[in-house]
Amino acid sequence: MHNDDRQYDVMVIGGGSGGWVAAAQSARVGARTLLVEKTGMLGGTTTTAGVNFPGLFHAWGKQVIAGIGWEVVNRTVEETGQTLPDFGDYARHHHSKLQIRVNVFVYAALCDETVVQSGARILFHAMPAALKPMTGNTGWHVTLCTKNGLEDYTAKVVIDATGDANAVSLAGFELNIPDTLQPATLSCRAGGYDFNKLDIDAIKSAYQEQVQAGRLQYTDAGWNTQEPDVRRWLRVRGANANHIHHISARDSCGKTKLELEARASLLRLYRFLRTQPGLEKFEIESVCPECGVRETATIKGKKTVTVGDYRNGRVWDDALCYAFYPIDLHRSEGDGLNKQPLEEGVVPTVPRGALLPAGSRNLIVAGRCVSSDRLANSALRVQASCMAMGQAAGAMAALSAQSGLDPEALAIEDIRDMLRQHGAIVPGSGFPV
Ligand SMILES: Cc1cc2nc3c(=O)[nH]c(=O)nc-3n(C[C@H](O)[C@H](O)[C@H](O)COP(=O)(O)OP(=O)(O)OC[C@H]3O[C@@H](n4cnc5c(N)ncnc54)[C@H](O)[C@@H]3O)c2cc1C
């Protein structure tokens, strides 16, 4: 394959949890696959936003998501000499203990290796400028914006794994854009202090004064909108510990506003903390290159997963994977989080129809922008579920490109068979209950 090849069976746009898995699956079964990523690294939110704890692969003590994503998470754990959590310890309120901490560098490098070995081509530092259907709806003309300017490509099937449904929107399909969005989070690694030697009460009351004087916001160092949570921020050293509110980061202007506000928030906090006893040598050792975005938009799909479907563990007739996580809606008021565990034994599923934009042909989504209402999406958006959707999307896209059938017209058992052959767990046959 030459680097200037412009004709593909499958083009995957976005190389996060959904996208890199989709590209590897599609190429592993022989589809000519291009993975287009706007940054210089695969992994998406896991790597560039530092949310390096994918979950959840297990529900109620059983594995419900496996396949290509699990393969690489597992290899990262092995390669770094870590150990996996005890997945038998599944008490409802401890879902965070079932997530798997991965080293960002090793994970990103193994994503590269997996995608390259699959035969897919990766194009970093590029994003789509336009998507137009080919004559007879046989695929897509995709214009990519690259460092050389605009370049024209074709693909029989496009997978939108941008998290923001950017490609679906460029192709002219409608999105659901909520009026209220979950807050975003900028993660960092803070150092230069001994947490156990800090007078937290004194720092909290100084923080409170700064908020009253209008120089700090509570959410600069926490999720709670009504009181300082600087103890947790200092204990976790800035990892997933602030909230940036009310910015829609679906397009470049919105993302710019978000990055500026997130770093300004961290700078306010940095300046304050360095004035506190025990924090004279406080420093930000590293900061994630991107602010992590929890919510922007979902597609209007051929099917939509509602919170009722999710809570009841509906097994759709076209289910392609499981998903598992508590409902987890971050809020801009109160304590900042609406978390609702699932009833014991419930394992929700994701239907093919929720990955297909209504009215579209040869277009699939994978990941966070899956068609779902806000509460269902607050749970479906997590990384293991996005990987499972990615693998399903990759299999569908390859089958579709090879057969000339639209993804909706494929026999569901053909997709499921391919997924099983590549290690994925597929709903049906009485599994997992
Ligand atoms: C602060 C925070 C905490 C979270 N906590 C957890 C947790 O504890 N456990 C968990 O499992 N999940 C957690 N999540 C959720 C999870 O990380 C994301 O929802 C998930 O990574 C989404 O996967 P994705 O593939 O849909 O999108 P992403 O991982 O965001 O990947 C999208 C990729 O597409 C690229 N891209 C975007 N637009 C374009 C474009 N136009 N052209 C080309 N490339 C593009 C991006 O650069 C990125 O690489 C958290 C999220 C956040 C923000």
Q: Is 337 helix (H, G, I), strand (E, B) or coil?
A: strand
CATH number of residue 111's parent domain:
3.50.50.60
pLDDT, residue 193, reads: 98
Q: How far is the CA of 160 from the centre of ligand 1 (A)?
A: 13
Does ligand 1 come within 6 angstroms of the Cβ of 39? Answer: yes
- Is 312's pLDDT higher than 50? yes
Instruction: Please give the Cα distance from 51 to 96 (Å, whole number).
Output: 12
Token pair, residue 27, equals 């190429």
Q: Is residue 426 part of a domain?
A: no
The alpha carbon of 208 and the centre of ligand 1 are apart by a number of angstroms equal to: 33
For residue 49, which atom of ligand 1 is closest to its CA?
53
Dist. CA 129–CA 142, nearest whole Å: 8
Q: What is the pLDDT of residue 44?
A: 98
Task: State mean pLDDT over 401-423.
Answer: 98
Q: Are 24 and 120 in contact (CB under 8 A)?
A: yes
User: Do 21 and 113 belong together in one domain?
Assistant: yes
Please report the beta strands in 256-355, taking only residues with DSSP state E, as ranges in sequence order.
283-287, 298-299, 319-322, 327-330, 337-340, 349-351
Return the percentage of the chain with pLDDT > 70, whole number: 97
pLDDT tens per residue, range 212-225: 999 999 999 999 99
Do 156 and 101 lie in a common domain? Answer: yes
| Structure confidence at residue 96 as a pLDDT band (50, 70, 90) | confident
Distance from C-alpha of 44 to C-alpha of 67, rounded to nearest angstrom: 19
In a shared domain, residues 392 and 272: no
Average pLDDT taken over every residue of the chain: 96
pLDDT in tens, 347-359: 999 999 999 999 9
Q: What pLDDT is stored for residue 97 in this prediction?
A: 87
User: Each residue of 21-39: pLDDT tens digit?
Assistant: 999 999 999 999 999 999 9
Whether residue 337 is predicted with pLDDT greater than 80 in this model: the reply is yes
Strands (E) located in 231-359: 283-287, 298-299, 319-322, 327-330, 337-340, 349-351
404 CB-near residues (< 8 Å, 6+ apart)? 138
Instruction: Tell me how far apart the alpha carbons of residues 27 and 25 are, in angstroms, rounded to a whole number.
Output: 6
C-beta 163 within 6 A of ligand 1: yes
Q: For residue 32, give Cα distances in angstroms to 6, 7, 96, 397.
A: 10, 8, 38, 11
Q: Which atom of ligand 1 is nearest to the CA of 383?
A: 11
Q: Answer with the residue of higher pLDDT: 430 or 95.
A: 95
276 and 211, same structural domain? yes
Structure tokens at 323: 């998903």
* Amino acid at residue number 407: P
pLDDT at 285 over 90: yes
The position carrying tokens 């579209």 is: 360
Domain end position, chosen among 237, 256, 287: 287
137 & 40 share domain: yes
Are 55 and 139 part of one and the same domain? yes
Are 82 and 207 contained in the same domain?
A: no
Cα–Cα distance measured from residue 156 to residue 166, given in angstroms and rounded to the nearest whole number: 18
Domain that includes residue 79, residue range: 7-178+296-421
Which residue in this structure is represented by tokens 């406080």?
A: 282
Mutation pick for ligand 1 pocket among 12, 101, 142, 383 (CB with most ligand atoms within 8 Å)? 383
Ligand 1: centre distance to CA 44 (Å): 5
Same domain, 416 and 345: yes
**Residue written as tokens 């069976």?**
9
Task: Quote the pLDDT of residue 93.
Answer: 52
Angle ∠(58,293,116) on CA atoms, nearest 5: 65
Task: Report if residue 429 sits inside a domain.
Answer: no
In a domain, 336, yes or no: yes
Q: DSSP readout, 370-392?
A: SSB-HHHHHHHTSHHHHHHHHHH
Same domain, 169 and 209: no
Each residue of 226-277: pLDDT tens digit? 999 999 999 999 999 999 999 999 999 999 999 999 999 999 999 999 999 9
Say what the pLDDT of residue 95 is: 82
Last residue of a domain, one of 287, 312, 341: 287
pLDDT band at 119 (very low <50, low <70, confident <90, very high): very high
Q: Are residues 323 and 409 in the same domain?
A: yes
CA pair distance 342, 344, nearest whole angstrom: 6
Asked whether residue 430 is domain-assigned, the answer is no
* Domain boundary pick from 258, 287, 316: 287
Same-domain status, 45 and 132: yes
Phi and psi torsions of 191, nearest 5°:
-150, -170
Q: How many domains does the chain have?
A: 2
Region 149-162: mean pLDDT is: 98
CB of 37 sitting under 6 A from ligand 1: yes
Examine the domain organization and report whether 32 and 73 are in the same domain.
Answer: yes
Could you tell me the two tokens for 15?
């190389």
Torsion angles phi and psi, residue 159, rounded to 5: -110, 120
Ligand 1 mean position to 161 CA, how many Å? 9
Q: Is 80 exceeded by the pLDDT of residue 1?
A: no
Determine the Cα–Cα distance for residues 60 and 413; give it in Å rounded to an integer: 26
User: Which tens digits make up the pLDDT trace of 142-154?
Assistant: 999 999 999 999 9
